[in-house]
Chain A
Amino acid sequence: MQDLFQEMVEVYGDRVYRLILRYTGDRFRAEDLTQETFLRAYKHLDRFDREKPAGPWLFKIAANLCRNWQRGIRELPVEDIKALDTLPDSNPEQACLDKESEAELRRALKEMPLMYMEVLLLKHVGELSYAEIAETLELELSLVKNRLYRGRIMLREKLEREGR
């Protein structure tokens, strides 16, 4: 039991953290919610089907926590780009560009409807397959494909608008 849990943290820990960090834009909040994700997983480990990959199960918990967090706040701290403040970067110019790019992404994400944003994050941050995204969000596979396509178009449009 303990070994299975340890394996989950090692395999999915970083990806769960990245997804929550993209969602919240706040390192402390992201660590807090990642801890909560794994604490809940540990608590309900007996409900986990060992025959299946743990990804969808963990991301479902993480997504629910993020939604609850989102409901609790009115505004996403889009201008707050401290998420990149502590990134090691020897090149200050590059760091500045990264920060700007990060801020653009956060503004674009903030403007997107949640249903598209979640599919995009699960695909590009969580690195899940279509089937795994469908399982995580309890959606039909065709709906995942459509939302992913529309989401990508939407993101590009918003980023182009940001770039102007």
Chain B
Amino acid sequence: MKENEHCPRVTEIQAFCDGEETAAGIGQHLRDCAKCCSAYQDLLALCSTADRLSSSEVLPAGFQDRLQEKLEPAPFPAGQVAAAIFALALAAVFVLEPGFINWWLSVGITLQVSFLIDFFLKLYYLGHSLGPAWVIAALSAIVGVELAILHKIKKVEGYTNAC
């Protein structure tokens, strides 16, 4: 094939050099056409020069580990944070409230109150399971105790008033 109007464009010859898909028969044309053959040789040299850009560099050692660390951030240190808050609260009790022992005692009182509530609840449930005679007897006993207490208070108040 001689030089003719069917000569491929230079970018087509370049595509052939780069191993890209090209029109069928371009290889044969390059062998037969002196002008295109020369362009092809020039393009091979051009590609070879540009190939100086390629390199054999590889990722730095430890790259994947460092990447993995960034992908999985360290878990939230819940334990340490809770311990720090507790320590701060404890320090605050000492620093901000000089009467912290009184505060601690109030916790003891709270414990006693909860014990009383528990006791009355037990009595309530007991009342449900006892017969009426037992309930009347228990109430009579409570009334008796109450009368005794009132009598005692009256005696104490009478003594106080006398003073």
A residues at B contact (CB < 8 Å): 9, 13-14, 17-18, 21-22, 27, 31, 34-35, 38-39, 42, 101, 105, 109, 120-121, 123-125, 127, 129-130, 142, 145-146, 148-149, 151-153, 155-156, 159
* Residue from B14, B51, B57 in contact with A148 in the complex, judged by beta carbons closer than 8 Å: B14
Number of A-B contacts (CB under 8 A): 80
Q: Which A residues are CB-close (under 8 A) to B63?
A: 13, 17, 31, 34-35
Pairwise interchain contact B14-A22, C-beta atoms closer than 8 A: no
Please classify how large the interface on chain B is, using the bins under 10, 10 to 19, 20 to 34, 35 or more.
20 to 34
Whether B141 sits at the interface, judged by CB under 8 Å, is no
Q: Which B residues are CB-close (under 8 A) to A38?
A: 67
Report the separation of the CA atoms of residues A17 and B66 in the bound assembly, to the nearest whole angstrom.
15
Q: Which B residues are CB-close (under 8 A) to A31?
A: 59-60, 63
Report the separation of the CA atoms of residues A153 and B39 in the bound assembly, to the nearest whole angstrom.
13
Report the separation of the CA atoms of residues A153 and B55 in the bound assembly, to the nearest whole angstrom.
20
CB contact under 8 A between A152 and B49, given known A35-B70, A146-B11: yes
* Residue from A22, A121, A124, A151 in contact with B51 in the complex, judged by beta carbons closer than 8 Å: A124
Q: Which A residues are CB-close (under 8 A) to B66?
A: 35
Q: Which of B10-53 contact A (CB under 8 A)?
A: 10-11, 14-15, 18, 20, 46-47, 49-53
Pairwise interchain contact A149-B14, C-beta atoms closer than 8 A: yes
CB contact under 8 A between A156 and B49, given known A13-B59, A14-B57: yes
Question: Can you name 22 A-B pairs with beta carbons within 8 Å?
Answer: A13-B64, A14-B58, A17-B59, A17-B60, A18-B55, A34-B59, A34-B63, A35-B66, A39-B70, A39-B71, A42-B71, A105-B53, A120-B50, A121-B53, A123-B50, A125-B54, A125-B55, A146-B11, A149-B11, A149-B14, A152-B46, A159-B52
Q: Which of B11, B52, B55, B58 has most chain A Cβ within 10 Å? A: B55
Which of chain A's residues has its CB closest to B71's CB?
A42
Pairwise interchain contact B50-A35, C-beta atoms closer than 8 A: no
Pairwise interchain contact A124-B50, C-beta atoms closer than 8 A: yes
Report the separation of the CA atoms of residues A123 and B70 in the bound assembly, to the nearest whole angstrom.
30
Q: Which B residues are CB-close (under 8 A) to A27?
A: 60
Q: Which of B68-105 contact A (CB under 8 A)?
A: 70-71
* Residue from B10, B20, B67 in contact with A35 in the complex, judged by beta carbons closer than 8 Å: B67
CB contact under 8 A between A155 and B70, given known A17-B57, A145-B15: no
Pairwise interchain contact A9-B14, C-beta atoms closer than 8 A: no
Report the separation of the CA atoms of residues A142 and B70 in the bound assembly, to the nearest whole angstrom.
40
Report the separation of the CA atoms of residues A149 and B53 in the bound assembly, to the nearest whole angstrom.
15
CB contact under 8 A between A101 and B52, given known A17-B59, A35-B67, A152-B46: yes
Q: Which of B10, B15, B51, B63 has most chain A Cβ within 10 Å? A: B63
Report the separation of the CA atoms of residues A145 and B11 in the bound assembly, to the nearest whole angstrom.
6
